[in-house]
Structure 1
Amino acid sequence: MFGRKSVKNPAYRRYALRMLPVSLLYVGAIMLASRLVPDHAEANPMTIGIALLPGLAVLGWIWTMARLLIELDDEYLRMLEVRKFLVATGVTLAICSVWGLLEIYTDVPKLPVFLVFPLWAMGLFVGMLVNRITQGTAGACA
């Protein structure tokens, strides 16, 4: 949930208004792809095109987050968001690298590549906690 100060900031309002349709697009594209493309389908232009639709929404999320950084005119809030992004990136790189090594040398299950972005998004929560502990505030989240 957005904190009181964040909701008053127009950049956060625009961010939320952009994230909603992109998120709905993602859910709809996943549902469509799951319905139309059978598991382990042959790669052809149609199956590839349908399977790429959810990726467009992921690109929309990335664009929306970039717009937030560009539009935030409060340097402190921007710094908090950048810190969250950096922590999320570090968490993601660490988990993927260590898990990748486990995949090479052991028989652990393979980590599907499509999980990297959701893992990064969960890393934003870790970044929020780091901000809360080190700065006394989490940024956009209360």
Structure 2
Amino acid sequence: MSRSSVRPAKRVYNRRIIIASVVYAAMLLPTTYIVRHYTPELPLRIVLGLLPALGIVAMFVALGRYLLEETDEYLRACMVNQILWATGGTLSLATMWGFLENFDAAPHLPLYVVAIVWFFCLGLVGALTRDRAA
């Protein structure tokens, strides 16, 4: 698909996702290093803990803005379908994992993993339904 065939809303969405991903990576690496090597006080740890989350939040904002800005109803409906499947899949996996953890049958995972799994599910559903949206 050539650049000119990508719809304007999708092009803006892609740019926002790339920027949010760069922000996430740019915040994650130094904050993790600082916390592991310098043991800062609690107020600074709170700030450092929230900084990488800003990139993830920006990704969700970009997705919401895409839904608002996409004028093609079919493409918007396809994205909503993708979001619903990703959400259902992620909530199902998180629930199953939570019960396994509760029964000491699986190791504890940090909560930020839920967002990672959700984006993975979003991409997987998108790949599986790509022919329908073309």
**TM-score (ref. length: structure 2):** 0.88
Whether the 8 Å CA contact 1:30–1:54 is kept in 2: the answer is: yes
- Mapped partners of 1:110, 1:72: distance in 2: 39
Query: Over aligned residue pairs, what C-alpha RMSD do you find?
Result: 2.1
Query: How far apart in 1 are the matches of 2:61 and 2:76?
Result: 16
User: Which whole-Å CA distance do the structure 2 matches of 1:122 and 1:76 have between them?
Assistant: 23
The one of 32, 35, 52 aligned to 1:54 = 52
Q: Which amino acid aligns with 2:15?
A: L
Once the two structures are TM-superposed, the CA of residue 48 in structure 1 deviates from its matched residue by: 0.9
Aligned length: 133
Higher relative contact order (CA 8 A, sep 6+): 1
8 A contact 1:6–1:12 mirrored in 2:
no
Structure 2 equivalent of residue 32 of structure 1: 30
Corresponding position of 2:99: 101
Residue equivalent to 1:21 = 19
Provide the rounded CA distance (Å) in 1 between the counterparts of 2:84 and 2:109: 22
Secondary structure in 2 matching 1:37: helix
Indicate the residue corresponding to 1:8 in structure 2.
6
- Listed as ranges, the gaps of 5+ residues in structure 2 are none
Deviation digits for residues 28-83 of structure 1 (CA, Å, limit 9, x no counterpart): 100111111128x5761111101110111111011000000000000000011011
Greater helix share, 1 or 2? Answer: 2
2:32, 2:84 → 1: CA distance?
32
**Which one of the candidate residues 66, 70, 73 is aligned to 1:72?**
70
DSSP 3-state at the match of 2:36: coil
Find the aligned partners of 2:80 and 2:122 in 1 and give their Cα distance. Answer: 10
Residues 8 and 108 of structure 1, relative CA distance in 2, 3 Å threshold: closer
**CA-CA distance at 1:128 after TM superposition:** 1.6
Cα 1:48/1:75, change in 2 over 3 Å = same
Q: Which amino acid in structure 1 is aligned with residue 54 of structure 2?
A: L
**Distance apart, 1:131 and its partner CA:** 2.3
